[in-house]
Each structure stands twice: as C-alpha cells, then as structure tokens.
A and B are shown apart, each in its own frame.
Chain A
C-alpha cells in the first residue's frame, strides 16, 4: 500500500477520542463531510465519526439475489425434468416437494453471492489504484485526513489537525 502517490493531508492519532475531536475540528474548518477520511485497523462503531454513513441497501440486494436463485432453481428443475420425462417411483414428472428443496438451496446461494458481490463493489475491493494509507495504521493509529484538498486550504487543515494533537503528514 503506497501513500506517496496520493495527494492528501492527514494526521495519525493514538486513540479514538482524539480522532473524534480531529474530525470535529475539520468540520469547523468547513471541510465537507464526504471529503473527511478516517482509516483505522478496527471499526469504532460506538464513535460518531464511524456512523456518518447512510443506511445501506444491502439487505434488499441480498433479497433480490435470493429471488434470482429461486427462479433459477425452479426453471432448472422443471425444464430439465420435462426435457426427458422419466417416471421414478410413481411420482409426477415435475415433483413439487423435491423441487422445493433445490429452490431453497439456490435461493440462499443467490442471497449469499449477491451480498458478497455487493460488499466487494461498494467497498471498492479488490483495488489496484493507489489508495490513501499509512503502515502506522496497523500499529493501532487512526488516520484522519482530507484527500485532494484545494491548494489554498492545505496549511489551514494542517493547523487544525496539529491543534487536536496528531502527527501531521506530510511532515
């Protein structure tokens, strides 16, 4: 993970409380919500800086994936059973009860795969572009910063970040 190629101003903090203060400091400087980046090695769900996101549609996408699986299973079973009708055990050619089992399994598979694909797309994984990162994050530091800041505000942002006690980068 290279950070040199990314144009950003950021600071590293040792604990989530100071990271929260840093985010509020940036807000006071007039930085837009979506321009503030917070990166950490673990989620801090109880802190406000983690919860600025809008609710996700992932549940509905998973349901849609399940519906696709359900239809696919029904078509697979009923069409193939009719293509070469072979009587087994006196059961009907298109047997509802066993087909329900196949339909259930493919529904769940559809939901699971839809969830994973949605995760990968929305979290922008896998990625090969250079992203903002600092190896200190793995040592527990929290990165708070702004990507691609306008030229004239860089010094102001660095002041704001330094005021809340972080080690500012670039140095």
Chain B
C-alpha cells in the first residue's frame, strides 16, 4: 500500500517548550548561526514555535503554533525551482534534493509559511560537537536550501525494517524527532492513507483546520484547536 505521510498537531496540548525545535536540530544536523548571524536573520529552524499574544494585561493569552514544512500537495515551492531540487515524492513528501540546488531561493520566496531556509555559510561544528552529528543525514554546504523533511531518514529506516520483516509499517512505528521529543504528545505523525491510524483519526476531528488553507497549497498538517 502506498503511504501518504501526514501530521496532526494539537495546539491545546502544545506548551511552547520548544523540545521539538531542539530535537530536530540534533536529528537533522541543522547548523547553529550564533548570536550575531541570528540577529541578522540567518538562523535556521526547520521547526519553529510561533508565539502570538492576544489581549491586554491582565487578560493576556499566549498562543503557540509549531510551524514546519507543511509538505503541501500543491506546493508553490515546487514548480518555481529551476533545477527540480524541490519536487513531490509518491508518498506525498516535498523532497529537497541538495545536489540539484543552485540556491536561487525562489522556493523560499514562494513558500507562504516561510519554512525554507538558506545556508548562508558553510556549517561549522567545533569539537566535540561534531561527534553529535547524525550519520544518517547529510550536512548541507553553503548555498543550498534546506527544510523539514518529516525526518525522511527515519521513514526510510522504518520502511526498510518492515520490508525486511515482511510486514506492513505499523502505526506509531515511525516517529520524527519533533514528535518523539514532545512531552505532551501534541505532535502525531503517521500514514494518512491508513484510515485506522491516529493521524487519520485526528485529521478528521472537528477541531481540525489547516494553516493558510485558503491559499490553495493543500497542506498536510492538521492543527487541532
């Protein structure tokens, strides 16, 4: 059966702790920009927690929303890439092929969610931080675009294991780093093609909505409010 990977994020459960952000950096070898470059807007966050304040003191409410690549079915970042570095896979993921990327940054401009990031410089990991790099994930060089891949290395590992054991992938077997780290299990990942999976069930919830859905991008992450 063809998989269709999707995600559901429960905003009621999200506490804004940003464990997902830290876990993603560790899993995917995301480079650190440092305070100067971060102040100049060069920080890379494959997943970020957007924080909005509503109301006046003392009735202030804070809203958290983890925003990551929505793996849109009608992704505006895909047709604009001149070298097919950004394209759609059969399993519904928006793939970023670093080798094809020449860094025009058009995809980042086209993305309404601003979830695509440019490598402004060659990444540097001072010793002993280099020992922490994940060998399953490539390190991107200067001049290419990068973004959340739904931890495609973990998806591939899960599929390979299931195939070697001659069985289907079980729901909950594949977890991206952000979902794994979330202390309140606000982030749920799974196969949308499997009607019994947790993520399919949550996607059908009446509390569910999609981010910037009216732009026609057909995002695959359902936010539950």
Question: Which residues of A approach B to under 8 Å, CB–CB?
Answer: 86-91, 98
**How many of B's residues come within 8 Å of A, CB to CB?**
13
Q: Which residue of A lies closest to B97 (CB)?
A: A86
Residue from A87, A88, A90, A98 in contact with B81 in the complex, judged by beta carbons closer than 8 Å: A88
List, in ascending order, chain A residues with CB within 8 A of B73's CB.
90
Chain A residue nearest to B79 (CB atoms) is A89
Contact of B86 with A by CB under 8 A: yes
In this assembly, does B137 line the interface, its C-beta being within 8 Å of a C-beta of chain A? no
**C-alpha spacing A137/B128, complex, angstroms:** 82
Q: How far is the CA of A91 from the CA of B73 in the complex (A)?
A: 10
Bound-state CA distance A86–B76 (Å) is 15
B residues contacting A by CB (< 8 A) are 73-79, 81, 84, 86-88, 218
Considering the chains assembled together, what is the distance between the CA atoms of A46 and B218 in angstroms? 66
Report the bound CA distance from A84 to B197 in whole Å. 33
Q: Are A89 and B84 in contact (CB under 8 A)?
A: no
Nearest-CB residue, chain B, relative to A86:
B87
13 extra interchain contacts, Cβ-Cβ under 8 A, other than A88-B87, A89-B76, A98-B79? A86-B88, A87-B78, A88-B78, A88-B79, A88-B81, A88-B84, A88-B86, A88-B88, A89-B77, A89-B88, A90-B73, A90-B74, A90-B218
User: 8 tightest CB-CB pairs across the interface, nearest first?
Assistant: A88-B78, A89-B79, A90-B74, A87-B88, A89-B78, A86-B87, A88-B79, A86-B84
Q: Could you tell me the distance between the alpha carbons of A86 and B79 in the complex, rounded to whole angstroms?
A: 10
The interface residues of chain B lying within 8 Å CB-to-CB of A89 are: 74-79, 88
A87 CA to B75 CA, complexed, in Å: 10
Closest A residue to B78 using CB positions: A88
Query: In the complex, which of the residues A87, A89, A98 has the most CB atoms of chain B within 10 Å of its own CB atom?
Result: A89
Docked Cα-Cα span, A89 to B74, in Å, equals: 4
